[in-house]
C-alpha cells in the first residue's frame, strides 16, 4: 500500500527535531574534519538512521525527477564519485597526505607519482564529496573520511575490494543476464564476463594473494558492524527450551564461533560443527577446554548426505546467502533422511525487511548486498517469505514456523519443523 509523502515543511520540522535530539547528546556538532557523530550514544542510533532517511527524502523531493540536479542525473553521475575514490585508493593518496597538516598539490603529485593536473582535477571533485579538503588554495588536508583510510587498513582494503575487484563484475552483469538468462550457477555471472574466466569468483580471486588478502580484510571490516553477532545469535532463539543432552549440528560452521557462543550460555547442549576438510582447524585448536566435551568438529560437505542422524537441531548461519535457490534446496534435501519427527532446521541469514519494518538506510544495505551477491555468485539475500519458500520446495513436510530477529543486526533465524 502506498504511503502519503510528507510535505517539505513536515520533513524539515522532523529533521529539526531529530537533529536537536542528536546534537544535544554529542560533545559538539559534527564537522567533516571532527567526526563527533562516532560518539553518538547507541540508544540514539535508531533516531540517527531515521534522520538519515528523512534528509534523503527531502533531498530527493527537492531534486525532482529530471534536469541536471534531478534524481536520474544524480544516480547516473555517481560514477565520477567512484572514479575519484578509486584513484585515491589506487595511488594510496591518503597515506601521502600528512595526518596533521597539509601538502601542496605539486608535492603530493610528486610523492604518489601522478600527473599534477590530473591529480588536482580528481581531488577537487573528491573534495566535493568530503574526500580531503583545501584549507588554502593549492593545499590538501585530510577530512575525517580520508584520515580513516589511513588509520583503518581494513576499511582501506574494503574500498580496494569493492572498487578494484568486485565493481567490474557489477558493470558486466547486464551482459551476463543476456548470455545466461535466469542462471543460478556461480560460474555464469558478471565476474566471468568481466574477467574472461570460467572460474567462480572465489576460486578465481584465490589465485591472487594480494586480492584475497584485501578481500579477507574487507570481511573483517564488515564484521565490525556487529562485533557481538555471536552473542546476538545465542540470545535470539529459545535454545534454553531444548531438553538436556540435545544435539545441535552446525552446518558450514567455520571455526564454530556460533556453537561456542550458544554452548557458553547453555551448558545442557551438545554441538557438532561441520565444515569442509581443513576449514575448522583453527576452531578446533582454540576451542576452550571446558567446551571440548560438548563441541566436536566433523569434516563434511553440506552437498553430501547428512551423516548425523536424529539430531534435535540442524542450523546454518550465513550459508544460504552464498547460494542460489537451486542449491539451497539441494542442501535442505540432503538433510531429510537424517531428520527425526520434530527436529528443527534453522537458517540464519541477512533478511530483507519489509518496507517500513526498518529504516530505509538499513533496508538499502541489504538490497545492495543482494545485488552484489547476484553479480558475483548468482546468489541472493532473501526476505522471510522467500526462506519459507526454500523449505517448502525441499519438502512440504518441513513446516515453516517463524523468523526470529537478532538484536542489533539485519539477520533473522528462520525455523522449520520436520513433520515426517
Indicate which residue of 133, 142, 300, 321 is catalytic. 321
Same-domain check for residues 401 and 341: yes
3 state DSSP class of 106 = helix
Same-domain check for residues 403 and 317: yes
In a domain, 68, yes or no: no
In a domain, 208, yes or no: yes
pLDDT tens-place string over residues 176-193 = 999 999 999 999 999 999
Instruction: Output the nine-digit C-alpha cell for 219.
Output: 570481511
Task: List C-alpha distances in Å: 297 to 196, 213, 249.
Answer: 38, 26, 10
Whether the per-residue pLDDT at 225 is higher than 80: the answer is no
pLDDT-derived band at 1, boundaries 50, 70, 90: very low
Instruction: Output the nine-digit C-alpha cell for 218.
Output: 574487507
pLDDT of residue 228: 64
pLDDT tens-place string over residues 379-398 = 999 999 999 999 999 999 99
> What domain range is 36 assigned to?
11-60
Mean pLDDT of the region 28-51: 96
pLDDT tens-place string over residues 126-179 = 999 999 999 999 999 999 999 999 999 999 999 999 999 999 999 999 999 999
From 207, 224, 241, give the residue that closes a domain: 224
Cβ within 8 Å of residue 2, ≥6 positions away: none
pLDDT-derived band at 347, boundaries 50, 70, 90: very high
> What percentage of the chain carries pLDDT values higher than 90?
88
The string of DSSP letters for 349-414 reads EEBPPPBTTB-HHHHHHHHHHHHHHHHHHS---B-HHHHHHHHHHH-TTEEEEEEEEPTTSSEEEE
Same-domain check for residues 272 and 385: yes
CATH number, domain at 276? 3.40.50.150
pLDDT tens-place string over residues 402-419 = 999 987 788 999 999 999
pLDDT of residue 78: 94
Give yes or no: 321 in active site: yes
Read off the DSSP letter of residue 279.
T
Can you give the three-state secondary structure of 175-243, one letter per residue? HHHHHCCCCCCCCCCHHHHHHCCCCCHHHHHCCCHHHHHHHHHHHHHHHCCCCCHHHHHHHHCCHHHCC
Amino acid at each position: 500500500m502506498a504511503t502519503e509523502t510528507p510535505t517539505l515543511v513536515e520533513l524539515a520540522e522532523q529533521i529539526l527535531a531529530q537533529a536537536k535530539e542528536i546534537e544535544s547528546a554529542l560533545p559538539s556538532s559534527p564537522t567533516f574534519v571532527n567526526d563527533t557523530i562516532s560518539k553518538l550514544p547507541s540508544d540514539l542510533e535508531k533516531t540517527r538512521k531515521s534522520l538519515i532517511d528523512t534528509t534523503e527524502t527531502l533531498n530527493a523531493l527537492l531534486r525532482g525527477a529530471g534536469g541536471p540536479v534531478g534524481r536520474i542525473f544524480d544516480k547516473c553521475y555517481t560514477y565520477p564519485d567512484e572514479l575519484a575514490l578509486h584513484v585515491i585508493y589506487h595511488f594510496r593518496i591518503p597515506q601521502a597526505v600528512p595526518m596533521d597538516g597539509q601538502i601542496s598539490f605539486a608535492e603530493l603529485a610528486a610523492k604518489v607519482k601522478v600527473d599534477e593536473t590530473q591529480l588536482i582535477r580528481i581531488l577537487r571533485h573528491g573534495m566535493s564529496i568530503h574526500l580531503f579538503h583545501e584549507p588554502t588554495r593549492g593545499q590538501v588536508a585530510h577530512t575525517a573520511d580520508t584520515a580513516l583510510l589511513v588509520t583503518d587498513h581494513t576499511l582501506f582494503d574494503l574500498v580496494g575490494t569493492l572498487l578494484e575487484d568486485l565493481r567490474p563484475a557489477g558493470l558486466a552483469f547486464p551482459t551476463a543476464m543476456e548470455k545466461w538468462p535466469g542462471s543460478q550457477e556461480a560460474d555464469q555471472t558478471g565476474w566471468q564476463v568481466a574477467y574472461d574466466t570460467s572460474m567462480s569468483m572465489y576460486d578465481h580471486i584465490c589465485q591472487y594473494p594480494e586480492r584475497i588478502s584485501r578481500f579477507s580484510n574487507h570481511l573483517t571490516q564488515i564484521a565490525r558492524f556487529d562485533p557481538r553477532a555471536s552473542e546476538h545469535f545465542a540470545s535470539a532463539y529459545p535454545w534454553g527450551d531444548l531438553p538436556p543432552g540435545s544435539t545441535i549440528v552446525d552446518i558450514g560452521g567455520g571455526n564454530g564461533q556460533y556453537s561456542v557462543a550458544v554452548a557458553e550460555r547453555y551448558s545442557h547442549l551438545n554441538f557438532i560443527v561441520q565444515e569442509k576438510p581443513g576449514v575448522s582447524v583453527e576452531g578446533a585448536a582454540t576451542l576452550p577446554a571446558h567446551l571440548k566435551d560438548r563441541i566436536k568438529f566433523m569434516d563434511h560437505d553440506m552437498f553430501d548426505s547428512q551423516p548425523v542422524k536424529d539430531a534435535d537441531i540442524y542450523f546454518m548461519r550465513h550459508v544460504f546467502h552464498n547460494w542460489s535457490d537451486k542449491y539451497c534446496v539441494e542442501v535442505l534435501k540432503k538433510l531429510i533422511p537424517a531428520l527425526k519427527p520434530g527436529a528443527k532446521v534453522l537458517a540464519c541469514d541477512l533478511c530483507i525487511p519489509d518496507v517500513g519494518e526498518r529504516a530505509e538506510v538499513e533496508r538499502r544495505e541489504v538490497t545492495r548486498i543482494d545485488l552484489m551477491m547476484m553479480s558475483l555468485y548468482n546468489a541472493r539475500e532473501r526476505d522471510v517469505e522467500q526462506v519459507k519458500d526454500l523449505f517448502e520446495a525441499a519438502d512440504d513436510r518441513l513446516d515453516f514456523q517463524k523468523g526470529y530477529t537478532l538484536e542489533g543486526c539485519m539477520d533473522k533465524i528462520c525455523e522449520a519443523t520436520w513433520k515426517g
